[in-house]
């Protein structure tokens, strides 16, 4: 699985919406695009795909934009990636959503298939068990750790001990 620009931008936009406030907080595409450095026209297409998949809702008119269709803890990265990039499997014969028989004489004993099944399962396990809220929590912890490290004196610098 390789995450496309569409997948990457969609994940960034969804995380921005989740971090934008309580569920129902509306953000405009141009604001998200500016903050995340994403081309606005491309982001609009991505947002429409996410809306059609039921992950976003939109509000038209003055003060319009997009908001999450469900709470951030109910939307997983796996749902977003599959919506924007399709199946997670690196090869089709291990896909749960887009399975295609491969050319192997015996799929059950194919070494490549067995390894790629492990890869698919590991990716799915992480993405399907990580919500937008989980990402926000991790991001906040990383920022706090970085801020704490910046204010802690470095014992290796002269005059700090």
Reported as a single tens digit per residue, the pLDDT across 24-67 is: 789 999 999 999 999 999 999 999 999 999 999 999 888 889 99
CATH code for the domain in which residue 84 is found: 1.10.10.10
Q: Is residue 26 part of a domain?
A: yes
Number of folded domains that form the chain: 1
Q: Is residue 160 part of a domain?
A: no
In our burial notation (b when 16+ CB lie closer than 10 A, e otherwise), range 124-136 reads beebeeebbbebe
Reported as a single tens digit per residue, the pLDDT across 59-109 is: 988 888 999 999 999 999 999 999 999 998 888 888 888 888 888 888 889
Q: Is residue 123 part of a domain?
A: yes
Residues 6 or more apart whose Cβ sits within 8 Å of residue 31: 65
* Distance, C-alpha 7 to centroid of its chain: 7
Q: Is residue 140 part of a domain?
A: yes
The pLDDT value recorded for residue 54 is 97
Structural domain range at position 122: 5-146
φ and ψ of 56, to 5 deg: -130, 160
Q: Is residue 159 part of a domain?
A: no
């Amino acid at each position: 699985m390789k995450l496309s620009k569409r997948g990457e931008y969609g994940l960034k936009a969804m995380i921005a919406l989740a971090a934008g406030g309580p569920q129902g907080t509306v953000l405009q595409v141009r604001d998200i695009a500016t903050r995340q450095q994403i081309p606005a026209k491309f982001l609009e297409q991505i947002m429409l795909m996410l809306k059609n998949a039921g992950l976003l809702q939109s509000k038209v008119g003055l003060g319009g934009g997009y908001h999450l269709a469900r709470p951030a803890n109910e939307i997983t990265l796996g749902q977003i990636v599959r919506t924007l990039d399709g199946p997670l499997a690196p090869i089709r014969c291990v896909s749960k959503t887009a399975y295609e028989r491969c050319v192997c004489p015996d799929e059950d004993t194919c070494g490549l298939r067995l390894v790629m099944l492990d890869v698919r399962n590991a990716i799915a396990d992480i993405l399907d068990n990580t919500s937008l809220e989980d990402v926000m929590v991790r991001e906040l912890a990383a920022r706090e750790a970085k801020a704490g490290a910046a204010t802690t004196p470095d014992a290796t610098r002269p005059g700090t001990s």
